[in-house]
C-alpha cells in the first residue's frame, strides 16, 4: 500500500495536462464563434476545461487517502502490442500469411513460455483458417503473400 | 400500421433464410464467448463486427444482438459447472448454481436456468414490443435541447452509477467525447485533431477503439492469469436434467420477480444485467422463508438472477431503439453499427425502417428459441471449450482482431489504432478507469455537439434554454441529482471498501495465502 493514492494523483495530473492540451489546440486552431453561432472550437475547448477540472478533483482526492500498489506487467503489454504493430507493418507490403506468423509468434511470447510445437501448429492452422474465412467465404481481396522489392 | 401487422412483417423478416442463419450464428458465437472467461461480450461483438460489413444492416444487427444475449445464456453454464462466471452478469449465479452442481444437480440447474433465461428474455421482449413505439412517438416532439439533455443524462448516469470512482467515469466519458470529435466537423467542415493525418478525416474507427479498449486490453490483463479449467469429466456428466416438482414450484415467483427487476434496470442508463442480477438475488434472499438455504444450492438463487439478466439484455434495447440514446457500452456499439450502415437512429427509426425494427425484435424470439434448444444438448461442447488453454486462444483472438480492423477499411492505419487504443485501455485498467463510459462518450459525442450547437442557434445563444423547456428542464434536474448522488455514493462506498480492502490485505499478509485473482470482464 502507498501512503497516498499516487496512481490517482498521477492520473489526475495526466488528465489536467490532456485537458489543457485539448483546450489549447482548440482555441489556437479552430474558430470559437459566438454562443449563438458556435464555431468548431467551442465544444472541444469546453471539454478540455471539464477534463482538466475532473483531473484536479481526482488529484486532490488522492492526497487524502492511501492507495493500492498497482500491478503493472511489462512483458504482457509489450509483446501483445508488439505483435499487433508487427501485423500492421507487415500486412500491406508482405501480405496476410507473414503478418499472421508475426503476430502469433510475437504475442505468444507474452506468456513467457515458448512451446515450439503448439506455436508452429497454431501458425499453420490460422494461416489456413483466416484466408478460408475472409478470402474464400467472405470474398475479401487480401493478398496472401507479397514481395515488395 | 397496427401491432399485429408489424409483428407479422417482423416475423417475415426474421424468418428469411439469411437472417435465420445469422441469428443462429450470432447466438452460437455468443454462447461460446459467454462460456469462455477472459473474452468479453464487447470484444466479441467488435471482433465479429467486420464479418457483418457486407450484410444488410438488419441482418448485421440481428447477428450482433444474438451475440449479446447469447453470452448471458452461455455465461450461466460456466458459472454453474465451474464456479467461473463467463460474464459479470452471471457472477451471482455461481453462488447457488455451483453448489447445486456439486450436489449432482448440475443438469437440473442448467435446464432450469435456461428456462429462466428464456422466461426473462420473453418478458423483456414483450415490454420492448409494447413500449418502444409509444416512447418513440412521444419522442418525436423532442427538439435539440431535449436530445442534448437526454444524452447528457445517459452519459452522466452510466459513468457515475457504475462501479468505481464517479470522477473517473466522468473523465472517461469526457475523453470519449473528445476522441469522437476527431475528424471533420459536420457543420463547418473544419478538420479537427487529425494532426495532418489524412486517414483520420473520417474520424477514429469505432471498431478499432472498441477492439483496442476491450479486446486487446482484456487480453493483456488475462495473460498468465486465466487458466484453462481443469474439469473432471465425471462432474459434468448430467445425471438428471428433469427438475422435481418442488424445484418447479419454487421457481415461478423468483422468475417473475427477476424478470420485472431485470426489465426495469435494463432500460435505465448505467445499470444493466449485472446490477439487475445482483438485486434480484438480494431480493430473493430477503423474501425467502428459508434464507439459510441460499449459498447452498437454493434454486431460487439461480432462477431470479438468470431471469433478471436476460430481461435486462432485452429491455436495454428500448432507449436505444426508441430514442437513439444507448444506456450501456454494448448498446452504444449497436448504435454505432447502425450509423456505420447508414441508418439514422432516433424516434423516426420505427417508421423509417419498420423492417429493421420489427425484424430485429422478432429475431429476438427466434434467437432465444434457438438458444433454448441449443444450450442443453451442447453442454458437452461448451465444457470442452473451457479446456482450451488460454495461451493458444489469445494469439488467435488477437490475429482475428487485427484482421477485422484491417478489413474495415483496408488500411493498416486501423490496426495501428487498435494498438494505440490497446495501450490506452491497458493504462486505463492500471489507473482503474472504466472503459465503458469512454465508448459511450465516443459514440454520443458528435451527436451531442450537433444538438448542443443547434439548440444554441435556436435559442440565440441563451444557455437557459436547457432549463426553460419543460421536458429538457426535468431531464436536466434528474441529471443533476444523479450526478450529485453518484459522486457522493461512490466516494462513500469507496471509503468503506477501502477500509475493507485494508483489512483483507492485513489478513492475507498474516496468513500468507496468495489470493486467487478473478478474471475481470465487463459488459
Q: Do A84 and B432 touch (CB under 8 A)?
A: no
Residue B504 pLDDT: 62
For B87-112, what is each residue's pLDDT tens digit?
A: 778 888 888 888 888 887 888 888 88
Residue B476 clears pLDDT 90, i.e. is over it: yes
A65 touches chain B (CB under 8 A): yes
Residues 6+ apart with CB under 8 A from B128: B314, B315, B317, B318, B321, B361, B364
Residue A57 clears pLDDT 90, i.e. is over it: yes
Disruptive mutation site among A41, A44, A132 for chain B (greatest number of B CBs within 10 Å):
A44
CA distance B460 to B339: 30
Sequence length of chain B is: 523
| The dihedral sign for the CA sequence A63, A69, A71, A75 | positive
Nearest to B160, CA basis, from B268, B281, B280, B316: B268
Quick one: A107 and A54 in the same domain? no
Give percent of chain A with pLDDT exceeding 70. 99
Residues of A in contact with B187 (CB under 8 A): 40
Residue A142 domain-assigned (yes or no): no
Residue A68 domain-assigned (yes or no): no
Quick one: A87 and A109 in the same domain? yes
Residue B190 clears pLDDT 90, i.e. is over it: no
B187 touches chain A (CB under 8 A): yes
Quick one: A58 and A79 in the same domain? no
Q: What's the pLDDT band for B56 if we cut at 50, 70, 90?
A: confident
Residue A39 domain-assigned (yes or no): yes
Q: What's the pLDDT band for B508 if we cut at 50, 70, 90?
A: low
Inter-residue contact B312 to B273 (CB < 8 Å): yes
Residue A25's domain spans which residues? 6-62
Quick one: A21 and A42 in the same domain? yes
Between helices B300-315 and B245-267, what is the axis angle to 10°? 30
Q: What is the ipTM metric for this complex?
A: 0.94
SS3 B226: coil
Quick one: A13 and A51 in the same domain? yes
Nearest to B389, CA basis, from A133, A99, A122, A72: A122
Q: Which residue has the cell 441449443?
A: B374
Residue A125 domain-assigned (yes or no): yes
Residue B342 pLDDT: 84
For B402-443, what is each residue's pLDDT tens digit?
A: 988 888 778 899 999 999 999 999 999 999 998 889 999 998
Q: b/e per residue, B120-157, with b = 16+ CB within 10 A?
A: bbbbbbbbbbeebbebbeebeebebbbbbbbbbbbbbb
Residue A115 domain-assigned (yes or no): yes
Return the C-alpha torsion angle B390, B394, B395, B401, nearest 10. 160
d(CA A23, nearest CA chain B) in Å: 11
Query: Which of B175, B399, B416 is closest, CB to CB, to A126?
Result: B399
Inter-CA distances, B331 with A109, B270, B343, B383, B485, Å: 35, 11, 15, 29, 24
Task: Specify which of A4-8, B339-343, B478-482, B502-506 reaches the highest per-range mean pLDDT.
Answer: B478-482
For A103-115, what is each residue's pLDDT tens digit?
A: 999 999 998 888 8
B216 touches chain A (CB under 8 A): yes
Q: Which of B 468-497 lie inside 8 A of A, CB atoms? A: 491, 495
Give percent of chain B with pLDDT exceeding 70. 90
Residue A143 domain-assigned (yes or no): no
Residue A120 domain-assigned (yes or no): yes
Q: Do B171 and A70 touch (CB under 8 A)?
A: no
Is residue A89 exposed (0-12), middle (13-18) or buried (19+ Cβ within 10 Å)? middle
CA distance B366 to B81: 27
Residue A47 pLDDT: 95
Q: Phi and psi at residue B104, in whole multiples of 5°?
A: 85, 10
Residue B377 clears pLDDT 90, i.e. is over it: no
SS3 B84: coil
Q: Do A80 and B453 touch (CB under 8 A)?
A: no
Sequence length of chain A is: 149
Quick one: A87 and A125 in the same domain? yes
Residue A17 domain-assigned (yes or no): yes
Residue A59 clears pLDDT 50, i.e. is over it: yes
CA distance B319 to B346: 9
Q: Do A73 and B453 touch (CB under 8 A)?
A: no
Residue B349 clears pLDDT 50, i.e. is over it: yes
Inter-CA distances, A12 with A1, A15, A47, A51, B424, Å: 19, 5, 15, 9, 15
Q: Which residue has the cell 422463508?
A: B289
All three cell numbers of B70, joined, read 447469447
Residue B229 pLDDT: 63
Nearest to B407, CA basis, from B35, B46, B11, B38: B46
- The DSSP secondary-structure symbol of B55 reads S
Residues 6+ apart with CB under 8 A from B162: B169, B270, B434, B436, B437
Q: Do B391 and A7 touch (CB under 8 A)?
A: no
Residue B23 pLDDT: 92
Residue B234 pLDDT: 58
Q: Do B51 and A138 touch (CB under 8 A)?
A: yes
SS3 B102: helix
SS3 A38: strand
Q: Report the number of distinct structural domains present in chain A.
A: 2
Residue B386 clears pLDDT 90, i.e. is over it: no
Quick one: A91 and A133 in the same domain? yes
Residue B516 pLDDT: 35
SS3 B418: helix
CA distance B279 to B400: 36
B431 touches chain A (CB under 8 A): yes
Q: Which of B 398-427 lie inside 8 A of A, CB atoms? A: 398-403, 406-407, 412, 415-416, 418-419, 422-423, 426
In sequence order, what E strands does A38-142 have?
A: none
More confident residue, B495 or A31: A31
For B257-299, what is each residue's pLDDT tens digit?
A: 999 999 999 888 877 888 899 899 989 988 888 888 888 888 9
Other residues' Cβ atoms within 10 Å of the Cβ of residue A90:
21
Amino acid at each position: 500500500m502507498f501512503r497516498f493514492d499516487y496512481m490517482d494523483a498521477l492520473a489526475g495530473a495526466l488528465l489536467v495536462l490532456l485537458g489543457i492540451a485539448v483546450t489549447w489546440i482548440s482555441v489556437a486552431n479552430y474558430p470559437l464563434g459566438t454562443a449563438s453561432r458556435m464555431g468548431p472550437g467551442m465544444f472541444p475547448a469546453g471539454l478540455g476545461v471539464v477534463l482538466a477540472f475532473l483531473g484536479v478533483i481526482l488529484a486532490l482526492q488522492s492526497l487524502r487517502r492511501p492507495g493500492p500498489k498497482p500491478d503493472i506487467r511489462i512483458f504482457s503489454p509489450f509483446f501483445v502490442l508488439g505483435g499487433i504493430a508487427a501485423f500492421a507493418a507487415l500486412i500491406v507490403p508482405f501480405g496476410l500469411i507473414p503478418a499472421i506468423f508475426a503476430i502469433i509468434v510475437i504475442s505468444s511470447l507474452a506468456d513467457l513460455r515458448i512451446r515450439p510445437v503448439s506455436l508452429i501448429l497454431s501458425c499453420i492452422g490460422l494461416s489456413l483458417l483466416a484466408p478460408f474465412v475472409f478470402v474464400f467465404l467472405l470474398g475479401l481481396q487480401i493478398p496472401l503473400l507479397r514481395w515488395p522489392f | 400500421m397496427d401491432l399485429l401487422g408489424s409483428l407479422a412483417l417482423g416475423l417475415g423478416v426474421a424468418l428469411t433464410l439469411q437472417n435465420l442463419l445469422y441469428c443462429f450464428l450470432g447466438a452460437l458465437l455468443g454462447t461460446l464467448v459467454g462460456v469462455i472467461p477472459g473474452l468479453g461480450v464487447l470484444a466479441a461483438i467488435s471482433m465479429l463486427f467486420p464479418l457483418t460489413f457486407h450484410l444488410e444492416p438488419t441482418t448485421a444487427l440481428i447477428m450482433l444482438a444474438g451475440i449479446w444475449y447469447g453470452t448471458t445464456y452461455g455465461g450461466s453454464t460456466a458459472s454453474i459447472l465451474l464456479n467461473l462466471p463467463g460474464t459479470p452478469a452471471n457472477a451471482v449465479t455461481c453462488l447457488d448454481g455451483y453448489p447445486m452442481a456439486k450436489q449432482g444437480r448440475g443438469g437440473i440447474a442448467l435446464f432450469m436456468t435456461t428456462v429462466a433465461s428464456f422466461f426473462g428474455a420473453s418478458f423483456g421482449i414483450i415490454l420492448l414490443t409494447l413500449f418502444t413505439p409509444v416512447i418513440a412517438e412521444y419522442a418525436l416532439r423532442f427538439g435539440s435541447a431535449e436530445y442534448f439533455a437526454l444524452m447528457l443524462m445517459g452519459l452522466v448516469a452510466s459513468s457515475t452509477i457504475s462501479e468505481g470512482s464517479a470522477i473517473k467515469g466522468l473523465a472517461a466519458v469526457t475523453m470519449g467525447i473528445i476522441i469522437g470529435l476527431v475528424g471533420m466537423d459536420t457543420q463547418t467542415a473544419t478538420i479537427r485533431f487529425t494532426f495532418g493525418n489524412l486517414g483520420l478525416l473520417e474520424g477514429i474507427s469505432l471498431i478499432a477503439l472498441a477492439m483496442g479498449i476491450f479486446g486487446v486490453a482484456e487480453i493483456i490483463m488475462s495473460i498468465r492469469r486465466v487458466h484453462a479449467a481443469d474439469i473432471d469429466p465425471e462432474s459434468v456428466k448430467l445425471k438428471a436434467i428433469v427438475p422435481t416438482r418442488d424445484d418447479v414450484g419454487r421457481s415461478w415467483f423468483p422468475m417473475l420477480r427477476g424478470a420485472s427487476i431485470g426489465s426495469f434496470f435494463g432500460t435505465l442508463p448505467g445499470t444493466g444485467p449485472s446490477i439487475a442480477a445482483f438485486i434480484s438475488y438480494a431480493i430473493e434472499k430477503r423474501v425467502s422463508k428459508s434464507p439459510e438455504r441460499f449459498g447452498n444450492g437454493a434454486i431460487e438463487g439461480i432462477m431470479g438472477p438468470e431471469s433478471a439478466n436476460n430481461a435486462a439484455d432485452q429491455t436495454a434495447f428500448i432507449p436505444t431503439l426508441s430514442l437513439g440514446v444507448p444506456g450501456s457500452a454494448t448498446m452504444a456499439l449497436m448504435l454505432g453499427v447502425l450509423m456505420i450502415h447508414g441508418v439514422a437512429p432516433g424516434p423516426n427509426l420505427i417508421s423509417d425502417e419498420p423492417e429493421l425494427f420489427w425484424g430485429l425484435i422478432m429475431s429476438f424470439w427466434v434467437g432465444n428459441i434457438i438458444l433454448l434448444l441449443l444450450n442443453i444438448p451442447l453442454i458437452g461442447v461448451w465444457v470442452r471449450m473451457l479446456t482450451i488453454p488460454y495461451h493458444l486462444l489469445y494469439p488467435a483472438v488477437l490475429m482475428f482482431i487485427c484482421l477485422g480492423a484491417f478489413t474495415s477499411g483496408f488500411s493498416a492505419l486501423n490496426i495501428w489504432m487498435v494498438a494505440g487504443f490497446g495501450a490506452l485501455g491497458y493504462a486505463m485498467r492500471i489507473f482503474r478507469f472504466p472503459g465503458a463510459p469512454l465508448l459511450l462518450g465516443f459514440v454520443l459525442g458528435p451527436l451531442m455537439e450537433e444538438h448542443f450547437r443547434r439548440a444554441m442557434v435556436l435559442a440565440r445563444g441563451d444557455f437557459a434554454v436547457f432549463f426553460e423547456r419543460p421536458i429538457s428542464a426535468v431531464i436536466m434536474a434528474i441529471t443533476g441529482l444523479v450526478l450529485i448522488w453518484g459522486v457522493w455514493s461512490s466516494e462513500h462506498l469507496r471509503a468503506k471498501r477501502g477500509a475493507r480492502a485494508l483489512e483483507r490485505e492485513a489478513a492475507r499478509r498474516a496468513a500468507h495465502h496468495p489470493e486467487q485473482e478473478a478474471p475481470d470482464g465487463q459488459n
